Amino acid sequence: MPSDFKALEVSEEEGNFLLNIVEKSVNDLPEGDLLVKVNYSSLNYKDAMSVTGMPGVTRKYPHTPGIDAAGKIAESKVPDFKEGDEVIVTGYDLGMNTSGGFGEYIRVPSNWAVHLPKGLTAKQSMSLGTAGLTAGLSIHALDSFREYTGLKNTKSVVSGATGGVGSISVMLLSKLGSEVTAVTGKNDQSDFLHSIGATKILSREELAETARKPIGKSLWDIGVDVASGEVLSLLLTSLSPGGAVACSGLVGGPSFESSIFPFILRGNALIGIDSVEIPLEVKRHAWEHFSHDWVLEGLDKITKEVSIDNLEVEVESILSGNQVGRVLVKI
Protein backbone atom coordinates (compact mmCIF):
# COMPACT_ATOMS: atom_id res chain seq x y z
CA MET A 1 0.00 0.00 0.00
CA PRO A 2 1.48 3.36 -1.00
CA SER A 3 1.99 5.99 1.68
CA ASP A 4 0.99 8.79 -0.72
CA PHE A 5 -2.05 9.09 -2.95
CA LYS A 6 -3.70 11.48 -5.40
CA ALA A 7 -6.70 13.56 -4.38
CA LEU A 8 -8.67 16.60 -5.44
CA GLU A 9 -8.17 19.34 -2.86
CA VAL A 10 -10.15 22.54 -2.44
CA SER A 11 -8.27 25.44 -0.85
CA GLU A 12 -9.35 28.95 0.08
CA GLU A 13 -7.37 32.03 -0.84
CA GLU A 14 -8.78 35.45 0.02
CA GLY A 15 -12.36 34.23 -0.29
CA ASN A 16 -11.76 32.32 -3.53
CA PHE A 17 -11.99 28.52 -3.62
CA LEU A 18 -9.43 26.79 -5.82
CA LEU A 19 -9.35 23.17 -7.05
CA ASN A 20 -6.07 21.33 -7.43
CA ILE A 21 -4.91 17.73 -7.77
CA VAL A 22 -2.40 17.09 -4.97
CA GLU A 23 -0.40 14.29 -3.39
CA LYS A 24 -1.57 13.49 0.14
CA SER A 25 -0.28 11.12 2.78
CA VAL A 26 -2.35 8.22 4.11
CA ASN A 27 -1.02 9.24 7.53
CA ASP A 28 -2.87 12.56 7.23
CA LEU A 29 -6.26 10.88 6.95
CA PRO A 30 -8.49 10.98 10.05
CA GLU A 31 -8.73 8.14 12.53
CA GLY A 32 -11.08 5.29 11.64
CA ASP A 33 -11.58 1.54 11.57
CA LEU A 34 -11.39 1.19 7.80
CA LEU A 35 -8.92 2.35 5.19
CA VAL A 36 -10.62 2.13 1.79
CA LYS A 37 -8.99 2.26 -1.64
CA VAL A 38 -11.56 4.26 -3.60
CA ASN A 39 -12.35 3.17 -7.14
CA TYR A 40 -15.40 5.31 -7.89
CA SER A 41 -17.24 8.30 -6.47
CA SER A 42 -20.03 10.49 -7.84
CA LEU A 43 -20.89 14.16 -8.07
CA ASN A 44 -23.87 15.41 -6.07
CA TYR A 45 -25.24 18.89 -5.47
CA LYS A 46 -23.83 18.81 -1.94
CA ASP A 47 -20.36 18.12 -3.34
CA ALA A 48 -20.64 21.18 -5.54
CA MET A 49 -21.64 23.24 -2.50
CA SER A 50 -18.55 22.03 -0.63
CA VAL A 51 -16.26 22.65 -3.60
CA THR A 52 -17.42 26.26 -3.92
CA GLY A 53 -17.35 27.05 -0.20
CA MET A 54 -21.07 27.59 0.34
CA PRO A 55 -21.66 28.47 4.01
CA GLY A 56 -22.71 25.71 6.38
CA VAL A 57 -21.34 22.80 4.33
CA THR A 58 -17.61 22.44 4.97
CA ARG A 59 -16.05 24.27 7.90
CA LYS A 60 -12.32 24.03 7.22
CA TYR A 61 -10.15 24.18 4.11
CA PRO A 62 -8.04 22.77 2.47
CA HIS A 63 -10.39 19.85 2.07
CA THR A 64 -11.10 16.84 -0.18
CA PRO A 65 -14.84 16.62 -1.01
CA GLY A 66 -16.84 13.61 -2.18
CA ILE A 67 -19.82 12.39 -0.14
CA ASP A 68 -19.82 9.04 -1.96
CA ALA A 69 -17.19 6.33 -2.32
CA ALA A 70 -17.03 2.73 -3.50
CA GLY A 71 -13.90 0.65 -3.30
CA LYS A 72 -12.00 -2.11 -1.50
CA ILE A 73 -10.83 -2.40 2.10
CA ALA A 74 -7.07 -1.81 2.32
CA GLU A 75 -6.89 -2.09 6.13
CA SER A 76 -9.47 -3.05 8.75
CA LYS A 77 -9.45 -2.92 12.55
CA VAL A 78 -12.80 -4.71 12.93
CA PRO A 79 -13.84 -8.33 12.25
CA ASP A 80 -16.88 -7.41 10.12
CA PHE A 81 -14.63 -6.23 7.30
CA LYS A 82 -11.48 -7.78 5.89
CA GLU A 83 -8.88 -6.67 3.37
CA GLY A 84 -10.25 -6.87 -0.15
CA ASP A 85 -13.93 -6.57 0.80
CA GLU A 86 -15.85 -4.29 -1.55
CA VAL A 87 -17.76 -1.53 0.27
CA ILE A 88 -19.98 1.49 -0.26
CA VAL A 89 -19.64 4.59 1.93
CA THR A 90 -22.13 7.45 1.59
CA GLY A 91 -23.22 10.34 3.77
CA TYR A 92 -22.56 10.94 7.45
CA ASP A 93 -19.59 13.33 7.47
CA LEU A 94 -17.79 11.90 4.44
CA GLY A 95 -16.75 14.69 2.09
CA MET A 96 -18.13 17.38 4.36
CA ASN A 97 -15.46 17.77 7.03
CA THR A 98 -13.96 14.28 6.72
CA SER A 99 -11.68 13.74 3.72
CA GLY A 100 -13.96 12.38 1.01
CA GLY A 101 -14.30 10.22 -2.05
CA PHE A 102 -12.52 12.54 -4.51
CA GLY A 103 -9.26 10.97 -3.37
CA GLU A 104 -7.73 7.54 -3.88
CA TYR A 105 -8.06 6.66 -0.17
CA ILE A 106 -10.47 7.42 2.67
CA ARG A 107 -10.38 6.37 6.31
CA VAL A 108 -13.77 6.08 8.03
CA PRO A 109 -15.55 4.47 10.98
CA SER A 110 -16.84 0.98 10.22
CA ASN A 111 -20.42 2.08 10.95
CA TRP A 112 -20.32 4.28 7.85
CA ALA A 113 -19.69 1.38 5.44
CA VAL A 114 -21.87 -1.35 3.93
CA HIS A 115 -20.68 -4.34 1.97
CA LEU A 116 -21.32 -4.02 -1.76
CA PRO A 117 -24.32 -6.32 -2.39
CA LYS A 118 -23.99 -9.23 -4.79
CA GLY A 119 -25.46 -8.28 -8.13
CA LEU A 120 -24.29 -4.68 -7.90
CA THR A 121 -20.89 -3.46 -9.13
CA ALA A 122 -18.92 -0.62 -7.58
CA LYS A 123 -19.39 1.35 -10.80
CA GLN A 124 -23.17 0.85 -10.72
CA SER A 125 -23.36 1.82 -7.05
CA MET A 126 -21.67 5.14 -7.76
CA SER A 127 -23.70 5.71 -10.92
CA LEU A 128 -26.52 5.76 -8.38
CA GLY A 129 -24.62 7.36 -5.48
CA THR A 130 -26.37 9.48 -2.88
CA ALA A 131 -28.78 10.74 -5.56
CA GLY A 132 -29.93 7.20 -6.31
CA LEU A 133 -30.05 6.32 -2.64
CA THR A 134 -32.24 9.37 -2.00
CA ALA A 135 -34.54 8.43 -4.87
CA GLY A 136 -34.83 4.88 -3.57
CA LEU A 137 -35.55 6.01 -0.03
CA SER A 138 -38.19 8.43 -1.33
CA ILE A 139 -40.02 5.75 -3.27
CA HIS A 140 -39.75 3.24 -0.42
CA ALA A 141 -41.27 5.84 1.92
CA LEU A 142 -44.15 6.48 -0.48
CA ASP A 143 -44.78 2.76 -0.84
CA SER A 144 -44.75 2.38 2.94
CA PHE A 145 -47.19 5.26 3.35
CA ARG A 146 -49.55 3.49 0.98
CA GLU A 147 -49.28 0.48 3.31
CA TYR A 148 -47.47 -1.51 0.64
CA THR A 149 -50.46 -1.67 -1.70
CA GLY A 150 -47.89 -1.21 -4.43
CA LEU A 151 -47.04 1.56 -6.83
CA LYS A 152 -48.33 -0.20 -9.93
CA ASN A 153 -51.00 1.81 -11.78
CA THR A 154 -50.44 4.88 -9.60
CA LYS A 155 -50.06 8.33 -11.07
CA SER A 156 -46.85 9.97 -9.90
CA VAL A 157 -45.07 13.29 -10.35
CA VAL A 158 -41.34 14.04 -10.09
CA SER A 159 -39.87 17.54 -9.91
CA GLY A 160 -36.33 18.33 -11.00
CA ALA A 161 -36.75 15.32 -13.23
CA THR A 162 -33.56 15.68 -15.29
CA GLY A 163 -31.25 15.87 -12.26
CA GLY A 164 -29.70 13.01 -10.30
CA VAL A 165 -32.47 12.30 -7.78
CA GLY A 166 -35.18 13.20 -10.28
CA SER A 167 -33.98 11.06 -13.19
CA ILE A 168 -33.49 7.96 -11.05
CA SER A 169 -36.90 8.53 -9.44
CA VAL A 170 -38.50 8.64 -12.88
CA MET A 171 -36.73 5.42 -13.89
CA LEU A 172 -37.59 3.59 -10.69
CA LEU A 173 -41.23 4.68 -10.55
CA SER A 174 -41.69 3.69 -14.18
CA LYS A 175 -40.08 0.30 -13.51
CA LEU A 176 -42.48 -0.27 -10.61
CA GLY A 177 -45.49 0.39 -12.83
CA SER A 178 -46.34 4.01 -12.08
CA GLU A 179 -47.43 6.51 -14.73
CA VAL A 180 -44.88 9.29 -14.30
CA THR A 181 -45.29 13.00 -14.97
CA ALA A 182 -41.91 14.73 -15.09
CA VAL A 183 -41.66 18.40 -14.11
CA THR A 184 -38.64 20.19 -15.49
CA GLY A 185 -37.19 23.60 -16.19
CA LYS A 186 -35.28 22.17 -19.16
CA ASN A 187 -37.77 22.32 -21.99
CA ASP A 188 -35.24 20.83 -24.43
CA GLN A 189 -34.98 17.54 -22.52
CA SER A 190 -38.33 15.97 -23.46
CA ASP A 191 -36.72 13.16 -25.44
CA PHE A 192 -34.41 12.33 -22.54
CA LEU A 193 -37.29 12.22 -20.05
CA HIS A 194 -39.45 10.05 -22.31
CA SER A 195 -36.50 7.69 -22.82
CA ILE A 196 -36.15 7.07 -19.07
CA GLY A 197 -39.82 6.36 -18.50
CA ALA A 198 -41.81 9.60 -18.21
CA THR A 199 -45.23 9.42 -19.86
CA LYS A 200 -45.99 13.13 -19.56
CA ILE A 201 -43.78 16.20 -19.23
CA LEU A 202 -44.69 19.54 -17.69
CA SER A 203 -42.66 22.71 -17.64
CA ARG A 204 -42.69 24.67 -14.40
CA GLU A 205 -44.98 27.19 -16.08
CA GLU A 206 -47.39 24.44 -17.13
CA LEU A 207 -47.38 23.08 -13.58
CA ALA A 208 -48.36 26.52 -12.29
CA GLU A 209 -51.23 26.62 -14.79
CA THR A 210 -52.34 23.06 -13.98
CA ALA A 211 -52.25 23.14 -10.17
CA ARG A 212 -54.40 25.44 -8.08
CA LYS A 213 -54.08 26.81 -4.55
CA PRO A 214 -55.09 26.27 -1.83
CA ILE A 215 -56.39 22.94 -3.14
CA GLY A 216 -57.05 21.84 -6.69
CA LYS A 217 -57.89 18.79 -8.78
CA SER A 218 -56.57 15.38 -7.74
CA LEU A 219 -53.87 14.84 -10.35
CA TRP A 220 -51.34 12.51 -8.74
CA ASP A 221 -51.25 9.78 -6.10
CA ILE A 222 -47.61 10.27 -5.12
CA GLY A 223 -44.76 12.67 -5.77
CA VAL A 224 -41.00 13.00 -5.43
CA ASP A 225 -39.86 16.60 -4.96
CA VAL A 226 -36.30 17.93 -5.00
CA ALA A 227 -37.22 21.56 -5.61
CA SER A 228 -39.16 22.80 -2.57
CA GLY A 229 -40.40 26.39 -2.93
CA GLU A 230 -43.30 27.08 -5.26
CA VAL A 231 -43.06 23.68 -6.97
CA LEU A 232 -43.62 21.79 -3.71
CA SER A 233 -46.49 24.10 -2.82
CA LEU A 234 -48.20 23.29 -6.12
CA LEU A 235 -47.63 19.54 -5.84
CA LEU A 236 -49.25 19.46 -2.41
CA THR A 237 -52.42 21.07 -3.77
CA SER A 238 -52.76 18.44 -6.49
CA LEU A 239 -52.62 15.09 -4.69
CA SER A 240 -55.43 12.57 -4.69
CA PRO A 241 -56.94 11.48 -1.35
CA GLY A 242 -54.42 9.48 0.65
CA GLY A 243 -51.55 10.75 -1.47
CA ALA A 244 -48.10 11.86 -0.37
CA VAL A 245 -45.03 13.77 -1.53
CA ALA A 246 -41.51 12.77 -0.48
CA CYS A 247 -39.22 15.81 -0.40
CA SER A 248 -35.44 15.83 -0.27
CA GLY A 249 -34.12 19.03 -1.83
CA LEU A 250 -34.21 22.79 -1.74
CA VAL A 251 -32.96 24.01 -5.10
CA GLY A 252 -36.08 26.19 -5.25
CA GLY A 253 -35.40 27.65 -1.81
CA PRO A 254 -35.74 26.49 1.80
CA SER A 255 -39.34 27.69 2.27
CA PHE A 256 -42.71 26.83 0.78
CA GLU A 257 -46.33 27.81 1.36
CA SER A 258 -49.21 25.48 2.12
CA SER A 259 -52.64 25.57 3.65
CA ILE A 260 -53.97 22.89 5.98
CA PHE A 261 -56.53 21.73 3.38
CA PRO A 262 -54.54 18.96 1.61
CA PHE A 263 -53.81 17.37 4.98
CA ILE A 264 -57.24 17.48 6.60
CA LEU A 265 -59.50 17.22 3.55
CA ARG A 266 -57.57 14.58 1.63
CA GLY A 267 -55.39 12.92 4.25
CA ASN A 268 -52.26 13.87 2.33
CA ALA A 269 -48.75 13.68 3.76
CA LEU A 270 -45.43 15.42 3.27
CA ILE A 271 -42.56 13.01 3.98
CA GLY A 272 -39.05 14.33 4.57
CA ILE A 273 -36.20 12.18 3.21
CA ASP A 274 -32.76 12.13 4.82
CA SER A 275 -30.16 9.99 3.07
CA VAL A 276 -27.20 11.26 5.12
CA GLU A 277 -27.68 10.54 8.83
CA ILE A 278 -30.16 7.67 8.65
CA PRO A 279 -29.24 4.35 10.33
CA LEU A 280 -26.78 2.26 8.35
CA GLU A 281 -29.23 -0.65 8.21
CA VAL A 282 -31.70 1.50 6.25
CA LYS A 283 -29.01 2.30 3.71
CA ARG A 284 -28.06 -1.38 3.51
CA HIS A 285 -31.64 -2.38 2.68
CA ALA A 286 -31.84 0.28 -0.05
CA TRP A 287 -28.61 -0.91 -1.68
CA GLU A 288 -29.90 -4.49 -1.54
CA HIS A 289 -33.03 -3.38 -3.41
CA PHE A 290 -30.87 -1.82 -6.14
CA SER A 291 -29.05 -5.14 -6.53
CA HIS A 292 -32.19 -7.14 -7.37
CA ASP A 293 -35.77 -5.76 -7.55
CA TRP A 294 -34.71 -2.18 -8.29
CA VAL A 295 -32.16 -2.95 -11.03
CA LEU A 296 -32.39 -0.08 -13.52
CA GLU A 297 -31.89 -0.91 -17.17
CA GLY A 298 -30.25 1.97 -18.96
CA LEU A 299 -28.52 3.43 -15.90
CA ASP A 300 -25.30 3.66 -17.91
CA LYS A 301 -27.09 5.73 -20.55
CA ILE A 302 -27.90 8.53 -18.08
CA THR A 303 -24.41 8.47 -16.55
CA LYS A 304 -21.42 10.53 -17.63
CA GLU A 305 -18.04 9.24 -16.45
CA VAL A 306 -15.28 11.75 -15.65
CA SER A 307 -12.00 11.79 -13.75
CA ILE A 308 -11.20 13.99 -10.75
CA ASP A 309 -9.05 16.07 -13.12
CA ASN A 310 -12.20 17.19 -14.99
CA LEU A 311 -14.58 17.88 -12.14
CA GLU A 312 -14.55 21.67 -12.18
CA VAL A 313 -16.65 21.86 -15.35
CA GLU A 314 -19.19 19.41 -13.91
CA VAL A 315 -19.41 21.39 -10.66
CA GLU A 316 -20.26 24.52 -12.63
CA SER A 317 -22.87 22.57 -14.58
CA ILE A 318 -24.68 21.18 -11.54
CA LEU A 319 -24.72 24.55 -9.75
CA SER A 320 -26.12 26.31 -12.82
CA GLY A 321 -28.90 23.72 -13.10
CA ASN A 322 -27.59 22.24 -16.34
CA GLN A 323 -26.72 18.74 -15.16
CA VAL A 324 -28.71 15.97 -16.82
CA GLY A 325 -28.62 12.51 -15.27
CA ARG A 326 -25.67 11.40 -13.17
CA VAL A 327 -21.93 12.13 -13.05
CA LEU A 328 -19.74 9.15 -12.17
CA VAL A 329 -16.22 9.96 -10.95
CA LYS A 330 -13.47 7.45 -11.76
CA ILE A 331 -10.74 7.69 -9.15
Alpha carbon distance 302, 38 (integer Å): 22
Whole-number percent of the chain with pLDDT over 70 = 99
Kindly tell me if the per-residue pLDDT of 71 is higher than 90. Answer: yes
pLDDT of residue 90: 98
> Has residue 1 got a pLDDT over 70?
no
- Interval 40-50 mean pLDDT: 95
Q: Is 0.85 topped by the overall pTM?
A: yes
Give the CA distances from residue 275 to residues 92, 120, 284, in Å, rounded to whole numbers and listed in that order.
Answer: 9, 19, 12
Closest CA to 183 of 195, 175, 167: 167
Chain segment 283-296, per-residue pLDDT in tens: 999 999 999 999 99
pLDDT of 80 reads 96
The answer to whether the peptide bond before residue 62 is cis (omega within 30 degrees of 0) is: yes
72-90 tens-digit pLDDT: 999 999 999 999 999 999 9
Report the mean per-residue pLDDT for the chain: 95
Domains and CATH numbers, the chain: 4-116+298-330 (3.90.180.10), 130-272 (3.40.50.720)
**Average pLDDT rounded to a whole number, residues 231-241:** 96
Closest Cα partner for 234 from 265, 193, 202? 202
> Residue 227: its pLDDT value, please?
92
pLDDT digits (tens, 9 = 90+) for 102-123: 999 999 999 999 999 999 999 9
Lowest mean pLDDT among 1-10, 62-71, 111-120: 1-10
Residue 149 is predicted with a pLDDT of 79
